Structure 1
Amino acid sequence: MQPVRHFLLALQFFTRIPVTGALARWVGYSPAMLRASAAHFPGVGWIVGGVAAAVYGLLCWHLPPVAGITWVAAVFSTIVTVLLTGGFHEDGLADVADGLGGSQQRERVLEIMKDSRIGAFGAMALVLALLAKVALLAVLGQMSLAGALLAIGLAHVASRTWPLLTIRWLPHVGDAAGSKSKPLADQISPRALMAGALWCGLAVLVALAWAHTLPLPWLGGLQSGERTATVLLWGLLGSALGWVVVHWRLKQRLQGFTGDGLGAVQQVSEIGFYLAVALAMGAR
C-alpha cells in the first residue's frame, strides 16, 4: 500500500483536494515520503486534467450551440484547474517572472522570488499565461471537441512529468530550511523517474485507445491511429520545448531550481503542449 500512500501525499501536497482526518493519519508524512511522492506528480495530472476535460466537455455538450461556446468552456475549465491546485503553479510562474525580471544578481533574484507580493513582471506573466491557455483551449475546441479533451488531459500529465527531470538534474537553491519543496530536492531516484514516466506513458496509451473508439473530425484522410499519434507527438514535443526553455533559464540564472521554478516548468510546458497540438491539428 506504500505507493497508494505516496500518491495520496502527492495529491495532498500539490492540490486542494482534501486528504484529511483518518485518511491523512493513514497516509502519514515524512520528508522521505514526500520525496517518494514526487514520482506521482504526473498522476496528480490525471486527476486535474480529467476534471478539467470533464468540465470542458460537459459545458460544450450542454450549453446552447452558439458562437463563443468554446471560450466559455475554456474559461471555466481553467478556473477549475486553479481551484483544484490553489493556483500553486501559477503562483510559481509569477514569482519566477518577478525574480528573473527584477534583477540580474542571483541572490537578489532569489530574494524577490520569496516575496509573497506580486510585481509587474509576475502580473504580466500570470495574465499572459492564463490568456494563452484560454485562447488555445478555445481554438482547439473549435477545431475538434475530442481533440481539445485529449489535449487537456495529456497536457496536465506531461507538464507534471518534466519537473521530475529538473529535480534530477539541478540542485535545489534558496532557503533550504524554509522551503516546502526542499524534501523533493534531495535527489530523485531513477525508480521515481521511471514511475513518473509510466504515469505519462499510460496516459498516452489511454488517449490513443480512446481516439480509436471515437470519431475525430480532425483526422482528415489519415488513419485514426497514425493521425492521433502524430498530433500527440507534437504535443509532447511542444511540452518538452517549454520545459527546456524554463530549465535552461533556471540553470543559467540560478544555477539550480526552487519550488517556484517547478511551478513555472509546469505552466510553460502545459501551454507548449496546447500550442503544438493546435499547430499539428491545423496542419494541412
Structure 2
Amino acid sequence: MKQEWRYLLLAVGFFSRIPVPALADFKEAELNRAAKFFPLVGLLIGSITAFNYWLSAKFFPTDIAVIISMISSIYITGCFHEDGLADCIDGLGGGWSKEQVLQIMQDSRIGSYGATALMLILLTKFISLSHISPDLIPWVLLVAHSLSRYAAILVMMTQYYVRSEGKAKPLATELSSSEFLLASVFGLLPLIILPVHLLWALLPVTLIWLFFSAKLKKRIGGYTGDCLGAMQQLTEVMFYLGILAWSLP
C-alpha cells in the first residue's frame, strides 16, 4: 500500500500542479506503474473543476461560471493536455512523413494548425457546456475529466510508443491486466452518476477515439505523449457535445 500511495503521488505530481510531498530516490521508471492512476487524477481534477463551477454559479451567470471552471482546469494541469493537442495537430497537419510529424511535434513553438485546434477546442468546450443544464454541468465535468483520461489509457494499451525522448517517455509501456482493470474502474465508474439516457454520449466519444487512433496508427505508427494529450482533449469535448445532444428536449 505504501508503494501504491507513492505511485499515486507521482501521478498527481506528473499530471497536475497539485502540490505533493517530495519523493526520495525518484526513478523515471516508476511512472510506468503510476499510469494506472491517470483516470483517478482526472477524477480529482474534475472534482475541483466542478466545485469551482458550482461555487461560481452562485454569484455569476452560467457562461461566466463555465469560463471560471475552464480556467481552473487549465491552471490545475498547467495546460498540459492543451499543449499536447497543439503540438500533435501541428505535427499531423504540417508533416508528411513520420519523421517530419515527430520533428514538428517536438518543436516548442506553436504553428497555425495547433493554434487553430486550440482555439476551436476551447471555444467548443465553452459553448457546449454553456448550453447544458446548469444543474447537470458539475456532474458532467466530473465524468468528462476521468473518462477522457481513460481514453488516453486505451491508446497506450492498443498502440506502441514511437518516440525515444519526450515528456511521456516514462509512460511508454503497456499496463498489466490488473493495472488496466484499476484504470478502467476509475475511468468508467463515475458514469453511474449520470442519467441512463445520457450514456449515449459515449457514442461520439467512441467515434472520435476510433478515428483519431486510426489516424495516429496510419501517420506515425503509434503514439507520443502529445498524442495522449490530444486524445484527452478530443474525447473530453466530444463527451460534452454528446451530453448536449442527448439532453436537449
Larger radius of gyration: 1
Q: State how 1:227-238 maps to structure 2 within 5 Å.
A: 228-231=195-198, 233-238=199-204
Once the two structures are superposed, residues 40-88 of structure 1 have per-residue CA deviations (whole angstroms, 9 ceiling, x without a partner) of: 000011111111111111111223xxxxx11111111111111000100
**Aligned counterpart, 1:273:** 239
TM superposition shift of 1:96? 0.9
| Residue aligned with 1:186, SS | coil
TM-score (norm 2): 0.95
Number of paired residues? Answer: 248
Deviation at 1:134, TM superposition (A): 0.8
State the AA in 2 paired with 1:280.
W
Counterpart in the other structure of 1:157? 146
Deviations 1:167-209, CA, capped at 9 Å, x for gaps = 11111112x1x3221221122222211111111233223x25x
C-alpha deviations, 1:108-131, integer Å up to 9, x for none?
Answer: 011000000000000000000100
SS at the partner of 1:16?
A: coil
- Tell me whether 1:173 sits opposite 2:162 in the alignment: yes
Amino acid at match of 1:53: A
Which of 35, 40, 44 is residue 38 of structure 1 equivalent to? 35
CA distance in 1, matches of 2:146, 2:204: 14
Q: Could you tell me which residue of structure 2 aligns to residue 203 of structure 1? A: 190
Letter in 2 for 1:229: V
- 1:74 and 1:135 in contact (8 A); partners too: no
User: After TM superposition, what 4+ stretches of structure 1 lie above 3 angstroms from structure 2?
Assistant: none
Paired residue for 2:93, among 89, 98, 101?
Answer: 101
What are the ranges of 5 or more consecutive residues in structure 2 without an aligned counterpart?
none
Q: What is the letter of the counterpart of residue 6 of structure 1?
A: Y
Counterpart-to-counterpart distance in 1, 2:117 and 2:154: 23
Query: Structure 2: which amino acid aligns with 1:41?
Result: F
**TM-score, structure 1 length as denominator?**
0.84
1:97 and 1:122 in contact (8 A); partners too: yes
Matched, 1:14 2:15: yes
Q: Which moved more, 1:241-250 or 1:258-267?
A: 241-250
* 8 A contact 1:163–1:262 mirrored in 2: yes
- Contact 2:15–2:80 (Cα < 8 Å) also in 1: yes
Q: Distance in 2 between matches of 1:269 and 1:29?
A: 32
1:75-114 matches, within 5 Å, as: 75-114=67-106
Could you tell me whether the CA contact under 8 Å between 2:85 and 2:117 is conserved in 1? yes
% same residue: 40
Structure 1 counterpart of 2:22, from 21, 24, 32: 24
Checking the alignment, whether the CA contact within 8 Å between 2:128 and 2:241 is kept in structure 1 is yes
Conserved 8 A contact 2:36-2:180: yes
CA contact (8 A) 2:147 2:188 kept: no
2:222 is equivalent to residue 256 of structure 1 = yes
Contact 1:70 1:137 in 2 (8 A): no
Distance in 2 between the 1:241 and 1:73 partners?
Answer: 29
Q: Measure the CA separation in 2 of the matches of 1:60 and 1:91.
A: 28
Query: Residues 15 and 77 of structure 2 are in contact (CA less than 8 Å); yes or no, is this contact kept in structure 1?
Result: yes
Query: For structure 1, which runs of at least 5 residues remain unmatched after alignment?
Result: 64-68, 209-227
